[in-house]
Structure 1
Amino acid sequence: MRRTPRCIPGRLAISRAASQNEVVEAQAPTEPTVFYGGNSYTESEWAAAVRSGRIADAQPVASSSERNVPDIGEIMAFSGPAPERINGRLAMLGFVAAVAAELVSGKGVLSQWAQEPTLITVTFVLFAAGSLAPLFNNADKGQSLGPFTPAAELINGRAAMIGFAALIGIEALKGSALF
């Protein structure tokens, strides 16, 4: 079986079977090419090889469009799955952390932020990234775990957003920590 050289269409290449002095003009492939096991196949040759059993363990690799992998625009769209989920999770984290730190230190949310902005920002970024990762892998199926359901998470997230905004508003009007 004579092997054809792998090359960029329109460029000159030296065939492995050709002698050192013979130069072969590469032809542009007419079909997409599949590279497997050191060989190259056209789509029709690949399908025939898989059907015949010569390539028994081969599993065609789906492209990102065939796997239906969402892009960042779809995930972060106004009606997408990420904005309310991430904001709700961050509000739940922020509200609980702010109230707990306020009870311990007696300082308001804004003074807590002023004292340690880096740690708070890094924590929020990590939580947001942790919320996005399953969405990019299509792994977030909205499954329930006992009382922890997607609907309960949205309700708790909305309540935490309102609570956190109210906490900041009350502290701003009062001029000191709430507790």
Structure 2
Amino acid sequence: MSAFTVAARTTVAARATVASSANRRSVRAAAEPEQKSSGGEVFFTDKNGDGQRATPEEYEAAKAAGNTYQASTVTGDLPEWAAGATADSDISLSLGDAFAFAQVPAATNFVASGPELMNGRLAMIGFVAALGCEIATGETVGQQVAQSPVGVAVVTMLIVGGTLISYCSNTKPPAAGPFNQQKELLNGRAAMVGMASLLAFEAVKGVALF
């Protein structure tokens, strides 16, 4: 057998191998599902805090239906603590809405009116601080406020101001583990009752509870 014949057969075999590999790749590519380009995808969280993957059109439809929180094209699922950090909503509330005692505004993301939310947060901080100070020093709430009026005023303004900012911007607070809006509302109401009872006791008795 001549060298030319061997070379020719080798060339034909090589071409057949290349063609066979190409055919297998084509069949495999046809069998595989089409993959979306990452540039045409939007990752966001729905109102349940679940991560979603959608086309821009599907995301816009979900946003129009009010079923979205913060969108992210950088990463996939947002962490649970950040799911409700920013709402995809153009609805904001006025100071009048935030200070309305009568009812919770229909468009708000909160489960309580602004005054109840602010009073509850103030009561939770104040009740714990007042009891702790009474146990440590034996002073009544009135004596504690008289000794540090500036500190009490600053803490009050920070709590009220922070609540107003989030309430007026309609930013839904994220759940922190088992603590959600409903539990905050319940704890705030309990703290308001406890603070009122403490003040009433001291007003009648004229002494600290502890």
Structure 1 position 149 matched with structure 2 position 172: no
> Structure 1 residue 145: deviation in Å?
2.1
Residue of 138, 160, 172 corresponding to 2:203: 172
> Structure 1 residue 76: deviation in Å?
1.3
Question: Which residue does the alignment assign to 1:29?
Answer: none
Query: Normalization by structure 2: what TM-score?
Result: 0.51
Structure 1 position 162 matched with structure 2 position 193: yes
Query: Normalization by structure 1: what TM-score?
Result: 0.60
Question: Which residue does the alignment assign to 2:100?
Answer: 77
| Count, aligned residues | 113
Letter in 2 for 1:152: K
Flag as ranges the 4+ runs of structure 1 deviating above 4 A.
Answer: none
Distance in structure 2 (CA, Å) of the matches to 1:126 and 1:143: 20
Letter in 2 for 1:77: A
SS of the residue corresponding to residue 130 of structure 1 reads: helix
Question: Which residue does the alignment assign to 1:67?
Answer: 90
Distance in structure 2 (CA, Å) of the matches to 1:75 and 1:168: 27
Question: Which residue does the alignment assign to 1:136?
Answer: 168
Structure of higher CA gyration radius = 2
> Structure 1 residue 85: deviation in Å?
0.6
Deviates more, 1:86-95 or 1:113-122: 113-122
Structure 1 position 101 matched with structure 2 position 133: yes
Question: Which residue does the alignment assign to 1:123?
Answer: 155
Letter in 2 for 1:92: M
Distance in structure 1 (CA, Å) of the matches to 2:155 and 2:126: 10
What is the CA deviation profile of residues 35-70 of structure 1, one whole-angstrom value per residue up to 9, with x for unaligned ones? xxxxxxxxxxxxxxxxxxxxxxxxxxxxxxx93221
> Structure 1 residue 142: deviation in Å?
4.4
Task: Give identity over the alignment, percent.
Answer: 44
Letter in 2 for 1:151: Q
Letter in 2 for 1:158: R
Distance in structure 2 (CA, Å) of the matches to 1:152 and 1:67: 27
Q: As a proportion of its length, which structure holds more helix? A: 2
Distance in structure 2 (CA, Å) of the matches to 1:152 and 1:68: 25
